[in-house]
């Protein structure tokens, strides 16, 4: 793992933008994208830039089960608002949170990933070490799954909803096995509340208790974090 520590998240986000830009210049055509507050400054760099994404495909990590694309808390809505409406992509994929048939949806999304191998996968990090919505205990070799969110994830994400009862309890998430098939991985994490997860991910033994620790087994992972997130290394 190549761990790069920056003074603050603005500097890290600028470096992340340069990383994506270099990847595209080197021929990347499919980006794996993430939601959450962490990638927002990176997406702002992308939308402010003169980069052309009209030949680029994106495959997002996850979506809440039960939320429509028009719901302002859905990840499809988030991606449209922060990136796709401002920078047209060739094609954009996000799991379909309205598909009630979990088996069909997870199969469909695995096929999307197989048909569009990911050149660069962008990741955030949950406070409990989750990536995408792969909670502790997730199979390191797994494909897309319907996940029951942990209380810690529901609590962490409640800040985006009017009340905690509105936070969905299930999500569809790309599996760790699929994330590991990406050619390159770029993980971003900012702030003191990510320091424990960063320490376990980088210095702990790979264990399913810390989903992000699987990344130690990937040959091309770059971690860009601020000083606060690096404070326990
Ligand atoms: C959610 C998303 C993750 C994201 C995490 C961290 O759980 N499913 O992909 O990494 O939140 O969010 P934030 O970046 O807001 O800290």
- Structural domain boundaries of the chain? 2-62+72-94+115-140+175-226
What digits encode the pLDDT tens for the residues 55-101?
Answer: 999 999 999 999 999 999 999 999 999 999 999 999 999 999 999 99
CB atoms within 10 A of CB 80: 16
Mark 100-128 as b/e (b = at least 16 C-beta within 10 Å): eeeeebbebbbebbeebebbbbbbbbbbb
Mean pLDDT value across residues 41-55: 98
126 pocket-lining for ligand 1 (C-beta < 6 Å):
yes
CATH code of the domain occupying 2-62+72-94+115-140+175-226:
3.40.50.1360
pLDDT of residue 13: 98
175 pocket-lining for ligand 1 (C-beta < 6 Å):
no
Alpha helices in the chain (DSSP H): 9-25, 40-48, 75-79, 102-115, 151-157, 176-180, 195-203
Enumerate the β-bridge partners of residue 188.
Answer: 224
35, 97, 151: residue to mutate for ligand 1 pocket, most atoms within 8 A of CB:
35
Enumerate the β-bridge partners of residue 120.
Answer: 31, 184
Q: Which residues are catalytic?
A: 62, 128, 130, 135
Distance 39 CA to ligand 1 centre (A): 9
41 pocket-lining for ligand 1 (C-beta < 6 Å):
no
Enumerate the β-bridge partners of residue 123.
Answer: 187
Q: What is the pTM of this model?
A: 0.97
């Amino acid at each position: 793992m190549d761990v790069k520590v920056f003074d603050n998240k603005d500097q890290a986000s600028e470096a992340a933008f340069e990383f994506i830009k270099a990847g595209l210049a080197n021929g990347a055509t499919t980006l794996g994208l993430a939601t959450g507050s962490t990638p927002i400054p990176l997406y702002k760099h992308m939308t402010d830039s003169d980069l052309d994404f009209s030949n680029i495909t994106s495959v997002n990590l996850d979506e809440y089960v039960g939320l429509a694309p028009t719901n302002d808390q859905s990840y499809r809505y988030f991606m449209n608002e922060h990136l796709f409406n401002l920078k047209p992509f060739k094609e954009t994929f996000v799991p379909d949170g309205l598909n009630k048939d979990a088996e069909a949806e997870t199969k469909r999304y695995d096929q999307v990933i197989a048909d569009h191998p990911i050149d660069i996968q962008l990741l955030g990090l949950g406070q409990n070490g989750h990536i995408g919505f792969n909670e502790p205990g997730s199979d390191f070799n797994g494909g897309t799954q319907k996940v029951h969110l942990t209380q810690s994830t529901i609590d962490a994400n409640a800040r985006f909803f009017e009340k905690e009862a509105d936070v969905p309890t299930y999500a569809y998430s790309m599996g760790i096995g699929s994330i590991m098939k990406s050619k390159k991985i770029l993980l971003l994490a900012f702030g003191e509340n990510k320091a424990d997860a960063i320490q376990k991910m980088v210095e702990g033994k790979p264990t399913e208790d810390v989903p992000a620790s699987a990344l130690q087994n990937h040959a091309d992972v770059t971690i860009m974090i601020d000083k606060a997130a690096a404070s326990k290394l």
